[in-house]
């Protein structure tokens, strides 16, 4: 059995968001054929998507082909709406959270829904998380920042404390990467910006003292292998000791002392990178993730973990399923 903790959904059939939530530039879905569509933001093409993004039957068939028993299904970050007023973002969250449950109805024994929340308003975010959990969601996906506020922001910390209290697992996904002439080619925002954004937010959790403020019961995972964090942990530790006047922030311990406080997924594509994750973060902190159904994801899902020559059978089982069951708070693993 294998569990994929990092996939995305684009449901068909959401209402006109300008009419439902207020004036502004909103995502909408241009239907090009029965099995092809384009996510639009205003009049700008954002991303092409196929039936895998909205059709559970197609998704389940791909899971069967790849040997995936369970799949966490999270929003596509373009729908977060963190740049909108909180009341509008709350309306968007309710629309997509409810639509997700409608799309996945009858399949939640294998497809595990994660909700989104209006993270710019911590109280509203907590309320929407509670509502969504009661309705059938299992966890929450959040972006790695809200404007200039990173994960050590007081309001975000309050939300993470609430997640720990109610036992909701959290998937952190980078979004809204910086652009510019040097980054707006070759998908550089995705190839360099995403790893850097995730690295920065792991640092914010550590150096901002978040792991010292939230209970150890918080189950939080950073997508895309935790970005570039594992490769540069030695540099961060060195800076913490040598330039503690600038680097230590609110952290009580060196950064390497916190690596058992968070999970990362395995979507790093090559065995040496996976070995670095396991060596640096530990065999109990890495889980299979694919970024399905997008083309920068891994297919077949879990291929690198299954074929990694350095993993023992026990370690491989941890990465394929056991760690994910612990992240999800399930005892059936």
Q: Is 92 exposed, middle or buried (0-12, 13-18, 19+ CB in 10 A)?
A: buried
The residues facing 29 across adjacent strands are 39
| Residue-level pLDDT at 1 | 83
d(CA 305, CA 253) in angstroms, rounded, equals 31
For residues 7 and 324, is the Cβ–Cβ distance under 8 A? Answer: no
pLDDT tens, position by position, 190-206 = 888 888 899 999 999 99
223 to each of 22, 40, 247, 261, 288, how far by Cα in Å? 31, 24, 24, 15, 10
CA 128 from chain centre, in angstroms, equals 18
Model confidence at 159: pLDDT above 70: yes
Distance CA 290, CA 8 (A): 10
pTM reported for the whole predicted model: 0.95
CA distance 96 to 113: 11
Using one digit for the tens of pLDDT, what is the confidence trace for 22-45?
888 899 999 998 889 999 998 889
By DSSP bridging, strand 3-9 and strand 70-75 are: parallel
Average pLDDT over residues 218-244: 96
* Mean pLDDT, all residues of the chain: 95
- pLDDT-derived band at 332, boundaries 50, 70, 90: low
Contact present, 144 and 151 (Cβ < 8 Å): yes
């Amino acid at each position: 059995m294998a569990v994929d903790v990092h996939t995305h959904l684009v449901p068909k059939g959401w209402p006109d968001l300008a009419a439902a939530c207020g004036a502004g530039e909103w995502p909408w879905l241009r239907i090009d054929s029965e099995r092809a569509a384009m996510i639009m933001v205003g009049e700008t093409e954002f991303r092409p998507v196929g039936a895998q993004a909205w059709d559970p039957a197609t998704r389940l068939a791909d899971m069967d082909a790849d040997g995936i028993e369970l799949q966490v299904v999270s929003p596509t970050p373009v729908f977060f709406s963190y740049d909108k007023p909180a009341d509008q973002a709350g309306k968007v969250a309710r629309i997509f959270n409810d639509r997700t449950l409608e799309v996945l109805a009858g399949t939640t024994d294998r497809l595990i829904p994660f909700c989104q929340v209006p993270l710019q308003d911590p109280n509203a975010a907590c309320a929407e998380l509670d509502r969504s959990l009661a309705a059938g969601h299992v966890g929450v996906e959040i972006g790695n920042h809200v404007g200039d506020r990173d994960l050590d922001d007081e309001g975000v910390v309050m939300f993470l404390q609430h997640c720990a209290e109610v036992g909701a697992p959290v998937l952190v996904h980078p979004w809204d990467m910086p652009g510019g002439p040097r980054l707006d080619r070759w998908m550089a925002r995705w190839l360099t910006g995403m790893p850097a954004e995730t690295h920065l937010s792991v640092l914010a959790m550590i150096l901002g003292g978040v792991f010292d403020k939230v209970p150890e019961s918080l189950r939080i995972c950073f997508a895309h292998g935790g970005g570039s964090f594992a490769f540069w942990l030695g540099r961060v530790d060195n800076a913490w000791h040598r330039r503690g006047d600038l680097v230590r922030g609110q952290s009580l311990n060196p950064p390497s002392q916190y690596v058992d406080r968070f999970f990362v997924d395995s979507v790093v594509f090559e065995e040496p990178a996976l070995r670095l994750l396991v060596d640096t973060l530990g065999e109990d902190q890495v889980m299979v993730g694919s970024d399905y159904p997008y083309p920068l994801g891994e297919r077949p899902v879990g291929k690198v973990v299954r074929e990694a020559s350095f993993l023992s059978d026990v370690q491989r089982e941890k990465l394929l399923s056991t760690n994910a069951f612990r992240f999800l708070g399930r005892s059936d693993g």
